[in-house]
Amino acid sequence: MVYCLAWGCAGLFENEDREKFQKFLESKNAPLPPISASKSVDKETIFDYNFDIATKSWKIWEAEKWVPPKRIQFSQLLIPTSDSTRTEFLIDKISTLPIMRSAKRMEPGLKNTLLVGGSGTAKTSTILMYTDKFDNAAMLLKRINFSSATTPRNFQDSIEAEVEKK
C-alpha cells in the first residue's frame, strides 16, 4: 500500500521532493524499506526500491548487467540504469494487463503508455531498451521520430511508406 501511495502521489517528483516525501512517510511510521545511510551522492528513498510480492520484501532497483555488443558504435550504446529499469518495469506491467479488465462492466483494459519528460531524459533510450527484448520473429518495430516540426502529413507519409498498397 505504501509503495502504491508513494508512486501514485509522488512518482513524478524530483529527487529533492522525493526526499521530503520520504521524511513525511518516516514521520508517519510507514513500513518502509531498510534504507542504508551509506549513500554519498543521493539519499535513498522508497523510490529506489521495488516491493516483490512473491517474497513479500523490499528489493533495491538494480539495472541488469550490461553486455557490450560485439561491434560497438558509441552513438548506439544503450546502458541500463536504475531509472530505465524502473520505467521498463512499469511499461511491462501496463503492457501485460488483461485485455478485458472487467467482463461484468464490459470495461476494456488500456495498454497504452506515454513517456513524458524534457529533452535528454532518456525516453527514447528506455523505449529502445524495452523493445530490444521483443522476439523479432513475432513482433516488428517501426521507429518514427517526432519533433516540434512534425506535421500530421509527415506522420502519415512515414506510415504509408511502410505499408503495402494494393
pTM > 0.75:
no
How many whole angstroms separate alpha carbon 46 and alpha carbon 39? Answer: 14
pLDDT given at position 81:
87
Q: Domain limits of the chain?
A: 1-60, 63-166
Give the DSSP letter string of 123-157. HHHHHHHHHTTS-TTT---------TT--HHHHHH
Mind listing the pLDDT tens digit of every residue in the chain (166 residues)?
Answer: 888 888 889 888 888 998 999 999 989 988 888 876 655 456 788 888 988 889 988 988 888 888 888 888 887 788 888 888 988 988 888 888 877 776 777 777 667 788 888 888 888 889 889 988 888 888 888 888 888 899 999 999 988 888 877 6
For CA atoms 19, 20, 26, 31, give the dihedral sign.
negative
For CA atoms 121, 66, 76, 115, give the dihedral sign.
negative
End-to-end CA distance of the chain: 53
